[in-house]
Homo-oligomer: A and B are copies of this chain.
């Protein structure tokens, strides 16, 4: 593997540098080819790095940024006043070729808008979409998009999401003729919103897409499709609902049961629970945090605002993977053959 440089918006997210700095060190420790540009307030970052391993520290550089975009800021306004913010500086590093990709846990709308503005979207893509790869019970993977890059999507946008998702599944997950479904509230053709029905009509007639119809929310983890497409509002609610339920289960697994038992029984119980928790672990949100903004000319990964250190490391790893697999380039190449030519 060759050297790879990522720009990290160190100030974004609910916990800012308290999470991003230790996560950065952890990521550097696990990949000797990784270099990081940590963008944010130099004083804060320097003090947090004071006790860092000096060997790892050599592959890390602090890039000063004087402000942070608030997570509750209106995207349009945030973008207007974004100059000098950690998110924007991180994206500039990608634009100028100093970094291969950018990772941020900051304001989703601002990241989406700024990334589109500064890096540009691929030909044929109106609006980029947030995509994640979920594990499913068939031991496979399901590509889910959009997760909230757009709150309202028309049918043309849903079709573009479907194409990008299919390319992702084919090129990165190595699934040939990936199945593509639309998330809806019923499997019958007459069900749901008009935009979804219109998108279904277009996808049904597109020979390059292996469209299999509607799927409902309960099929999210069943592996019935390789790509599941929905608008950003629905995708965000769906993913968060799933994560909430998984967390509840994992916490129930780990909580004590209250009843006193023989020590050897308790020990055995704890061992079994630990094994179960491990088995469910692949559904743990911390392990697949990080959504790729698909449809841009470069890789941008959005982490959960509330990501833990471990979760932020997962987001960094997703960016590494996307760069190494040349995700934007592969999508661009496939889009050229799939999308109608505009003259």
A residues adjacent to B (C-beta < 8 A)? 71-74, 108, 137, 148, 151-152, 183, 185-186, 188-193, 216-222, 230, 232-234, 236-249, 251-253, 257, 265, 268-269, 272-273, 275-276, 279-280, 283
20 further interface pairs, Cβ-Cβ under 8 Å (given A221-B244, A237-B237) = A72-B190, A72-B191, A74-B190, A137-B252, A151-B193, A183-B237, A185-B237, A185-B240, A192-B233, A216-B240, A217-B240, A220-B244, A230-B237, A233-B234, A241-B241, A241-B245, A245-B245, A245-B246, A245-B249, A268-B272
When C-beta atoms are compared, the residue in chain B nearest to A136 turns out to be: B248
A234 to B218, CA, bound (A): 13
Cβ contacts under 8 Å, A220 to chain B: 241, 244-245
Q: How far is the CB of A194 from chain B (nearest CB, A)?
A: 9
CA–CA, A257 to B273, complex, Å? 13
Known contacts: A148-B185, A152-B193, A185-B148. The answer to whether A241 contacts B253 by CB under 8 A is no
- Cα distance A268–B265 in the bound complex, in angstroms: 9
* A71 proximity list for chain B (CB < 8 A): 188
Q: Is the CB of B221 within 8 A of A245?
A: yes
* A236 close to B217 (CB less than 8 A): yes
Distance of A244 Cα from B246 Cα, bound (Å): 11
Bound together, the chains give a CA A234 to CA B192 distance in angstroms of: 11
Residue contacts A-B, CB under 8 angstroms, 12 given: A183-B237, A193-B233, A217-B239, A217-B241, A220-B244, A220-B245, A230-B237, A234-B234, A237-B237, A241-B245, A245-B246, A257-B279
Do A221 and B242 form a contact, CB below 8 Å, given A190-B74, A234-B234? no
Q: Tell me whether B238 and A237 are in contact (CB under 8 A).
A: yes
Residue of B nearest to A269 (CB): B272
CB-based contact A238/B236 at 8 Å: no
A268 contact set on B, CB distance < 8 A: 265, 268, 272
Asked if residues B237 and A252 are in contact (CB atoms below 8 Å), the reply is no
Q: How far is the CA of A245 from the CA of B283 in the complex (A)?
A: 10
Complex contacts, A191 vs chain B, CB 8 Å: 72
**A265 CA to B265 CA, complexed, in Å:** 11
Assembly CA distance A291 to B246 (angstroms): 24
Assembly CA distance A243 to B234 (angstroms): 16
Complex CA–CA separation, A252 to B252 (angstroms): 15
Cα A125 to Cα B280 in complex, Å, equals 44
The residues of B that contact A219 with a CB separation of less than 8 Å are 244
Shortest Cβ distance from residue A330 to the other chain B in the assembled complex, whole angstroms: 29
- Determine whether the beta carbon of B137 is less than 8 Å from that of A251: yes
